[in-house]
Structure 1
C-alpha cells in the first residue's frame, strides 16, 4: 500500500485573531489572497486560508519553496500541483467543515492528476431545526434502499453518526475518483453495520478506506466529526474499510493557531 499521511487542523473562531489571519495571508500570493477575501464570512475565509496553506506547508516539508508552486484544477474542480514536477508526483486532497480542515497526501502513482486519493470530513449534526427523519428525507435520492432502511431503524444518536459515515464514504470515494458531484451517490452503498462498501452492487477492487473521528472543543461545547480517506492501492483484492477504532498513526492533529504561527 502506498504510504499516505494526513494533517487535520482544528479551528476555533474565537482563538483565531485578526493578527493571525493577516499573518496567514502574508504567506500567500496576491491571487490566492484575493480568492480568500471574496468570502463574506470570516469563518469561511479562515477555512479557505488554512486550505491554501496546507499543501504549501507540505511542499516546504519536502524541501520545496512554496512560492514557486503553481496549482491548477481538474475539469471537476479537484486541485492539484501543476509545478514543480516532483518524482513521484504529489497526490493530495483537502476537505473542511465547520471547525476542521484536513489534507491527505502521498506519492501520486496513478490516474494523474487526480491520483485517486480523497478525503472528506463532516461535523455530526442535524442542520437547522430539522428532525432526523426530515433531514434524511432531503438526502433520500442519494441514499440506497439499504442505507435508508438502516438509518431509520437505528436509534439516535447512533443513526446520525451512521449517516455521516455513509456520506463521507461516498464523498471521499468520488473525490478520489476526481469526479465529485459528477458521480451519482446512489451508486455507492456503505453499510455501517457490516463495514462493507459496494459500487453498483459490487465490492470494488484495489481500494482502501480509512475511517477516523475527531473532537473540537471541550465539555458542552464539544463537537464530534467523522471522516474518511479513500485510497486506490491497486491490485485485485476487494476493498478494505478500516474501522475508526484502528490506529491511524499517519494522521497528525494540530490547532489552527499553532499551525498558522509555524507556517513559514
Structure 2
C-alpha cells in the first residue's frame, strides 16, 4: 500500500498543475457526462455520478458547468458520445500500468496510447495481462493539518472512517492520510468525514495494486514517471494506475 500512497500524493500534486492548465476541468466534465449517461442524472440514485460530482466540486469546477455536463449525459443537451476503454501495458522495469480513457475515436486514441508506451520505454499488453495485479477501491486523501481546525490524528480518523466502512488508513506522504474503502462504501465514508468536520483533499475510485515493483534508483524512477506523465497529459486519458514503489529518498531526488 505504501507505493500507492505515494503515487496518490504525486497524482494529487499533478492534479493541481493540470488545473492550472485547464486540463483537469475538461477531464472531470467528461467523467460527469459519462456517469450521467450510464446511470441517470440524479446523484442521489447514481453513486458513480455522485462521486464524479464531488470530485469536480473539489477541483472547483463551477456548478453550472457540472449541470450542463449532466444534461449532456442524459440527453437534455446535445453532446459528444464518449466510449470508455481501458488499456494495459508495462512501463520500464516491468511496472504494470492500466490506462483508463474516454474517447470519441477509439482508433485514434488506441494508436496514440500505444505510441506513448513505445516511445517511452514501455509496451502495450493484452487485456487482462496486468489488471489481475490491481483491485478496485475507493481512495480518500485527508490532510493531516487542514486549515481552520486542529491536526487530524490517525486515532481520530480511525474512529470516524472504520465505523463507516473503511478498510485501511495509511500515510500518503508527510502531509496526508490515505483512507481506503470498498468501492460501495466510498460515499458513506466521505459522508462520515463531512459529518465529523474532517475535510478531504480528494475522493475517487481507484485501482490499488496488490503487489508493487520497487524503483530504487533515480534513473529508474524517472523513466517510469516520464511515461506516466506522457499518458496523463493525453486529453482522452482519465486515469493512469501503476504498481511501483519509490523510496522516500529517491522520490525526493526525482521531485527536486
TM-score by length of 2: 0.30
TM-score by length of 1: 0.30
Which has the larger strand fraction? 1
